[in-house]
Amino acid sequence: MSAFKTIPALIVMLIVTALSQAMAQTHPTLYIIGDSTVKNHTAGLQGWGDPIAALFNPAKITVENDALGGRSSRTFLTEGLWDKVAPRIKPGDFVLMQFGHNDGGSVTKGYRASLKGTGDETQDVVNEKSGKPETVHTYGWYLRKYVDDTKSKGATPIVISPIPRNMWNAENKVGRNSNDYGKWASEVAHNESALFIDLNEIVADKYDALGPDKVKAYFPGDHTHTNDAGATLNAESVADGIKTLKDCNLRDYLVAKWQ
């Protein structure tokens, strides 16, 4: 008789397991890739990719911050970081991508810089870190790679312009990257039919309203990396941008106060 009593329990367990697996398959993930302005675990500093998780309903979506400090659009690919994310992306997922702060400089001095612009130009170099030959592409080329790989998985790519640095002009207006990385990020999104959030403009408008003295409190060490308060402001600005995206259901996963 005891054997017969265990059969219903086994059936229930199998049903629960099957339902859990089905839910896991339909439960979307929001992947975030970028640099230290997105993920920063240095004491006293914070990137926006961690606090933004609190703005999403964890019962409906998983937020995974895969950004890493010091990486550029180039090195996130060449160091194999993207290869750890891309295979796990499934239909219905989302990928937020923000690069640019480490893409500047000379490609022949150092190992992080990408070529400027969005074209197909390349330059062959010897990587100063690995000592190996490498063909370097443009910032736009690397972004297209992330966008196209994301779309090939049936997921939604969302390109984001880099956050502003704490640098001001004579009119007490914070500097914007609308003529370089912000512009190039927008061009890639437009040309690849991807979504775009102009985070640089959204945050810069808030900084201008606050003024240099108040904004300075967000940057305890340099003009690029924020503390917890600055990261929270930037995360909320990303949420502001998500709410403006047409035909994108990512906003449905925000907690009620942000929808």
- How far apart are the C-alpha atoms of 21 and 87, rounded to whole Å? 18
Q: What is the pLDDT of residue 247?
A: 87
Tell me what percent of the residues of the chain surpass a pLDDT of 70.
Answer: 90
Q: What is the pLDDT of residue 110?
A: 87
> Residue 154 region, left (φ>0) first, then alpha (ψ -120 to 50), else beta?
left
Q: What is the pLDDT of residue 7?
A: 54
Q: What is the pLDDT of residue 1?
A: 46
- At the topology level of CATH, where does 28-258 sit? Rossmann fold (3.40.50)
What is this structure's pTM? 0.89
Q: Which residues are catalytic?
A: 36, 222, 225
Per DSSP (E only), the strands in the chain are 29-34, 62-65, 94-98, 123-126, 133-136, 156-160, 195-197
- Per the CB < 8 A criterion, the answer to whether 174 and 208 are in contact is yes
Residue found by looking up tokens 């339909």 in the block: 26
Q: Are strands 123-126 and 94-98 parallel, antiparallel or unpaired?
A: unpaired
